[in-house]
Amino acid sequence: MLVKRMLCALPLTALGMAAFFPAHAEEPLRAGEVHVSATRVEKELQDVPMSVTVLTSKDVEKSAARTIGELLQDVPGVRIENDGSQGLKRVSIRGEDAFRTLVLIDGQKISEHKSMSGAALLIDPSRIERVEVIKGPASVLYGSDAIGGVVNIITKKGGDKPVQGEASVTYNGASDGFSESLSLFGSHKGFNYRVSGANSNQGDVRTPEGTLDNTSFKQKDGSAFLSYDFSDTFTVGGSFDSFDGDFNATSMDYQKDPGSDFFVKVPEWKRHKYAFFAEGKNLSDALARVRFDAYYQKNRKKMENYIKTSSGETNVVVDNFADNIIRSTGASLQTDWHIGTDHYLIAGYEVNYDRLNSEGVSYFNMSSPVSPTMSMKIDKKTNKFYDGTQLTQAIFALIESQLPWDVQLSYGVRYTRVRTELTRGTEIADPYTGGMFSGDQLVRPMFDYSGQTAKADLGSTTDSRPVFNVGLVWTGIENLALRASWAQGFRVPILTEKYIGTAMGSASGMTYGNPGLDPETSNNFEIGARYNNGGLNLDAALFYAISDDYITSVPIAGTEDYIYTNVAKAKSFGSELALSYDFPGGFTPYADLTWIRRQYDDGDGYKTFDTATPAWVGRYGLRFRHALSEAIDFNADLYARSQSATEYASKDGDSDYSLGGFTTLNVAFGFDFGEEKQYTVQAEVLNLFDKRYQYTQAILEPGTHANVRVGMKF
């Protein structure tokens, strides 16, 4: 029995242990019903020492979500950030910024080196087998960036018949747009295959105050997967993924000011990935499994960031264009070992190599009257070229031990070494503009801040760090599991923070990179309980996190510029609850709630709990499921979404803001019909009372709107 539980500790990432708690599933999974199909092993939910939520393909079928972000918005501990866009949504976990959340697709990282917004979720929801959201530091298992947590998107693979298919069409009233998807898949004589495609075309968001310009988006998604089982113990396979997005973003504040303007256009954001794996199982009495994964991924983003501001008769326009390409090559090798009868070891090595090629053009225009007969004008054009690399290598080991008195102990370590290098950093000012610069090469000024120097010099730095975790689970009472854990997290600075810097999002000034930056670190403590008996399903957690060496930008005296430094700290504490009860007759009341408090410390005497983190977030309602006949099932869900007020306070008070709390009422219903329930029709009406509300300062969320999804399997 112990061996079976140990084998269940393997996620597709080949990097460690994961587990799952179903969110809003029509038929809630019990602790012994959770399957990790991609690895052909399973782990009982009760044995997991961490907080994890899973969204399944069934959840996708019951939703009209246009993006992965919309699917995740009700997960306890998760907050979705959109930066003024409907289509580009990122995930914040337990109050941490989105760039402290690690995003994986089939266990492989989505890298980002030219944005401080975090990795985007570049995949269509129709391809999802499940999404695992691990909350709290998971750096021992998954590496850098996993301070807030991990989002691992696992895609659909083969089937259980020679030829099968899925198709769907969805209308979303929030953006008056349609999404279509089609996939063919199957398994036959050891071969497993899937080919899929999806398309989404969404217009500008419709809010209670009208349609908001520059918020439309389009995305296309295609994939192919093939594997072959040479025997019951050996499998090889490969896959290809393609994503192509076109996104727009804006800010309401600028749109309301006739003298100002702001928009971000991303006409091209493409992701292509080639992956290969080989897996052997039960190779000997001691060696339970060996898995090798390798991949190549190219991520290309073209972007325009336009800002216009006016003060009196002075007008300033900053128009930045960027073409960024990140090529990632990675591999991992994991081995799993039986050590006696009571211990199971997972150990391995992984490597990831990112290459950044960035080209950009920045236009700066300022006009201001000096006298009634004279005005000052500045026109400056700067061409920017950056090439850099980041090589990450890690070894890891995790042991799970069965102790007396129904106690399971897990403990692990990961040692990571990261080399970051800027090989080209050229900024050339146009000599014909008559602007402030007239040379061929613009050499950035040097600033000394607390003994650290920011400049445009080329160079390389190396960071290395071990991290540890320990977890306990007690299962001495049937259907009850009590858990406790301590885990460390860390995040290595990206190329923008170390060398490149950024002018994006600012009408004046520059934020400079700093080669002397250290990795961010954190310690997370958690206790929790799961109880699953009859109709009652409960998962609760209390957590406390301390983060140090936060990277933030601070002003450079006497200038309008900033520099990245390790001066900030944060501490977060809170609770998460997922609770439901299945009454006879098909009624299930449920609640998914999060309470969190987060304090930010700038390292210079300023502390605040107003960190744009709402104290309370929740979804709660009543689900109903009933078989109308042998061929027709009916389901319905009446629920509310609530969030308390969001407050943000800055040290100088210049950027303070407050967003009001809200509650929206929503209803969803649908039918599954056919001999095998192969047809699905789902409809929902969201924000029934046309509530005006915001998750972020940038844009309003949709007003009252209806969504309809029609799907079929064959």
Give the pLDDT score at 82. Answer: 79
pLDDT surpasses 80 at 47? no
Which letter, b or e, does each residue of 575-611 get, where b requires 16 or more Cβ atoms within 10 Å of its Cβ? ebbbbbebeeeeebebebbbbbebbbbbbeeeebebb
Task: Write the burial class of residue 64 (CB in 10 Å: 0-12 exposed, 13-18 middle, 19+ buried).
Answer: buried
Give the pLDDT score at 543. Answer: 95
Mean pLDDT over 553-564 rounds to 78
What's the Rg (C-alpha) of the chain? 26
Give the pLDDT score at 430. Answer: 66
Contact between 142 and 102 (Cβ < 8 Å):
yes
What is the model's pTM?
0.87
Mean pLDDT over 265-280 rounds to 95
Mean pLDDT over 30-44 rounds to 40
Mean pLDDT over 113-122 rounds to 82
């900053």: which residue's tokens? Answer: 318
Task: Determine the 3-state secondary structure of 69 from DSSP.
Answer: helix
Mean pLDDT over 8-28 rounds to 35
Give the model's confidence band at 662: pLDDT under 50 very low, under 70 low, under 90 confident, else very high.
very high
**Polymer length of the chain:** 714
* C-alpha span between 50 and 136 (Å, rounded): 8
Give the pLDDT score at 457. Answer: 66
pLDDT surpasses 90 at 604? no
Q: Which of 48-57, 403-412, 495-504 has the highest mean pLDDT?
A: 403-412
Distances, alpha carbon 58 to alpha carbons 55, 166, 213, 293, 586, in Å: 8, 13, 33, 27, 18
Mean pLDDT over 238-248 rounds to 95
Give the pLDDT score at 433. Answer: 44
pLDDT, tens digit (0-9, with 9 covering 90-100), for 681-700 = 999 999 999 999 998 888 89
* C-alpha span between 635 and 626 (Å, rounded): 6
Residues 6+ apart with CB under 8 A from 652: none
Mean pLDDT over 74-87 rounds to 85
Q: How many CA atoms lie within 13 A of 64 on its CB side?
A: 28
Give the model's confidence band at 453: pLDDT under 50 very low, under 70 low, under 90 confident, else very high.
very low
Bridge partners for 121 per DSSP:
none
40-49, 276-285, 492-501, 626-635: which has the minimum mean pLDDT? 40-49
Mean pLDDT over 371-392 rounds to 82
Give the pLDDT score at 44. Answer: 66
pLDDT surpasses 50 at 289? yes
- Domain holding 77, by residue range, is 2-713
pLDDT, tens digit (0-9, with 9 covering 90-100), for 435-452 = 333 333 333 444 443 434
DSSP 377-412: EEEEEEEEEEEEEEEEEEEEEEEEEEETTTEEEEEE
pLDDT surpasses 90 at 139? no
As for how many domains the chain has, the answer is: 1
Task: Select the more confidently predicted residue: 530 or 259.
Answer: 530
pLDDT surpasses 50 at 434? no
DSSP 170-191: EEETTTTEEEEEEEEEEEETTE
Give the pLDDT score at 87. Answer: 84
Residues 6+ apart with CB under 8 A from 33: none
210-224, 499-513, 586-600: which has the minimum mean pLDDT? 499-513
Tokens of 162: 């020679």
Give the pLDDT score at 187. Answer: 96
Task: Determine the 3-state secondary structure of 164 from DSSP.
Answer: strand
pLDDT surpasses 80 at 614? yes
Give the model's confidence band at 43: pLDDT under 50 very low, under 70 low, under 90 confident, else very high.
low
pLDDT surpasses 90 at 370? no
Nearest C-alpha neighbor of 201 from the set 216, 189, 213, 190: 216
DSSP 6-58: HHTT--TTSSS-----BSS-SSPPPGGG-EEGGGTEE--GGG--SEEEEEEHH
CATH of the domain at 447: 2.40.170.20
Mean pLDDT over 706-710 rounds to 95
32-41, 251-260, 391-400, 406-415: which has the minimum mean pLDDT? 32-41
140-144, 233-237, 337-341: which has the minimum mean pLDDT? 140-144
Share of the chain above pLDDT 90, in %: 52
Give the model's confidence band at 508: pLDDT under 50 very low, under 70 low, under 90 confident, else very high.
low
Give the model's confidence band at 203: pLDDT under 50 very low, under 70 low, under 90 confident, else very high.
very high
Looking at residue 126, what DSSP letter applies? G
pLDDT surpasses 50 at 41? no
Task: Determine the 3-state secondary structure of 468 from DSSP.
Answer: strand
* C-alpha span between 174 and 206 (Å, rounded): 6
* C-alpha span between 342 and 589 (Å, rounded): 40
Share of the chain above pLDDT 70, in %: 87
Task: Write the burial class of residue 471 (CB in 10 Å: 0-12 exposed, 13-18 middle, 19+ buried).
Answer: buried
Give the pLDDT score at 431. Answer: 53
* C-alpha span between 314 and 309 (Å, rounded): 8
Give the pLDDT score at 558. Answer: 72
State the average pLDDT for the chain.
Answer: 84
* C-alpha span between 57 and 680 (Å, rounded): 13
Give the pLDDT score at 435. Answer: 37
For residue 704, the Cα-to-chain-centroid distance in whole angstroms is 27
